[in-house]
Amino acid sequence: MAAVRMIRAVLVVPRLTGGGRAAVFFAAALCAFPLLLGPVTPAAARVLEVRPDGGGGRLLERALREAAPGDVVRLGRGVYHGPLVLVRRVRLVGEPGAVIRGDGKGDVIVVTAAGASVEGLTVEGSGRRLETDAAGIRVRADGVRVEANVLRENLHGIYVEQARYFVIRGNSITGLAAAGMEDRGDGIHIFDAHRGIVEGNAVRRARDGIYLDYATGNVVRGNVIREHRIALHVMNSGANTIAGNRAGPGLVGAGVMLSHGIAVRDNVFVGDGDPRGYGLLLKDADDSTVRDNILAGWQRGFGLDGANRSGITGNLLTRNRVGLYLAGNSGDSRIAGNAFVGNTQDVWLERGGPDVVMPGNYWDRAAARGPRWGQGGAPPHRALSVTAYIAGSYPAGALLAVSPAVWLLERLERVLRLPAAVDPAPAAGPPDWLGRALVLERAEAAQAGRCGADPGWSKGGVGGGLGHVHPR
């Protein structure tokens, strides 16, 4: 009826010549044609069943050629040979035991169709030469989803390049078992790719667990990364969020370099005492937000080198040889409300660097001296003493920590001009969240320490960082 009324209205339009009325009538008819046919619904997506021998379904290559956008290509249990290229918007789904095996020369699966997905497969056997950057799954289109796959014995696990709005979720990735660390690829490599989500993945024995380069607006959250060089590596990027991840053992928990506006929050990074290690390193990275993280068991828990105008609040630095390392070219950052507990040295400043004022932190060393404050609150705390400075500059100087010479050296501070790290108003007592955070850190350290022998290393665990225990 609506279509009939539309056509009748045209017939009574005034002041039109015959030709003009005919043109309007034709346009109205085109608009009314779908109404005459009734409501149009999209065709239901087909499910194309595939078996390795072709019985009961189609061979994989034929199924991918015949599939229409929106179809599901479902692989039964067995081994299928790659490489494969997804050129249409299909869902490639594997039943338990479905394996795509590459030829050892290049990528195993390449996705070039926007909106396609790869789900539930075991993918193995990419090329291994570093100069090829071969991957188990390579994404080259927008809106692609890679979910719940197992990737093993590939150079890179998943490689996303020049894509947007991608989702990499719930994958288990193990690097090349026989290769040395520098001969492995990355678990997940994001290059010139933007506004994606990388969450809930488990990465083990990769060079870098998750690597972002020239990437903006991405969210990396809830991932577990073990036995790595750098667990979360950000280069030449901006406005990314690194949240709720767990990492260690490895060389660096998170390294943010040549980047700006990166948020690092609610992570737990537990080291194994590697003398080169950092829990979190900001190098030439400005305007960062670092809060509610646990950094434990590293040579240097948190390092700032050429990093300015950042907010560093609410973090726990514990069991590190140096809790906070500040290079001489870092400044202009707010370091407040953190807890320094059980570090060999709480703070170390590079020689020649400027003094640093760090208000409102909790220092277990200051608390151990007893309640010496009165109505004016806690007295200022000098976080870097002569002893700590010498111990940080000369490894043998660490013996001074248990020497009677400490008393004499600390009095030399009155005449020596050394870089100072001073908290003018330290917290009078431990923060409410500290006890729960220490329990969280010990549980994560225990799990990270046994990951090599635990077949369920990527399951369960203690969740993210201090966002779970802060009374916000």
pLDDT digits (tens, 9 = 90+) for 160-180: 999 999 999 999 999 998 888
The predicted structure's pLDDT at residue 467: 63
CA distances from 317 to 22, 106, 246, 346, 347 (A): 80, 43, 15, 8, 10
CB 86 within 8 A of CB 116: yes
Longest dimension (CA), the chain: 111
Question: pLDDT above 90 covers what percent of the chain?
Answer: 63
What is the average pLDDT across 101-128? 97
The predicted structure's pLDDT at residue 376: 47
Kindly report the pTM of this predicted structure. 0.83
Per-residue pLDDT at 114 exceeds 60: yes
> Which candidate, 287, 225, 281, 289, places its Cα nearest to that of 256?
281
The predicted structure's pLDDT at residue 25: 42
pLDDT digits (tens, 9 = 90+) for 253-303: 999 999 999 999 999 999 998 999 999 999 999 999 999 999 999 999 999
Q: Could you give the angle at the alpha carbon of 465 between the alpha carbons of 461 and 470, nearest 5°?
A: 125
Which has the higher per-residue pLDDT, 398 or 428? Answer: 428
What is the average pLDDT across 94-123? 97
pLDDT digits (tens, 9 = 90+) for 10-53: 444 444 444 454 444 434 444 443 444 344 334 678 999 999 87
pLDDT digits (tens, 9 = 90+) for 222-257: 999 999 999 999 999 999 999 999 999 999 999 999
The predicted structure's pLDDT at residue 351: 64
pLDDT band at 412 (very low <50, low <70, confident <90, very high): low
The predicted structure's pLDDT at residue 332: 82
Per-residue pLDDT at 348 exceeds 60: yes
Which has the higher per-residue pLDDT, 468 or 259? Answer: 259
pLDDT band at 453 (very low <50, low <70, confident <90, very high): very low
Which has the higher per-residue pLDDT, 6 or 115? Answer: 115
For residue 273, give every residue at least 6 positions away whose Cβ sits within 8 Å of its Cβ, in sequence order, or none: 297, 298, 299, 321
Taking all residues of the chain, what is their mean pLDDT, rounded to a whole number? 83
pLDDT band at 391 (very low <50, low <70, confident <90, very high): low
pLDDT band at 104 (very low <50, low <70, confident <90, very high): very high
What is the average pLDDT across 337-360? 87
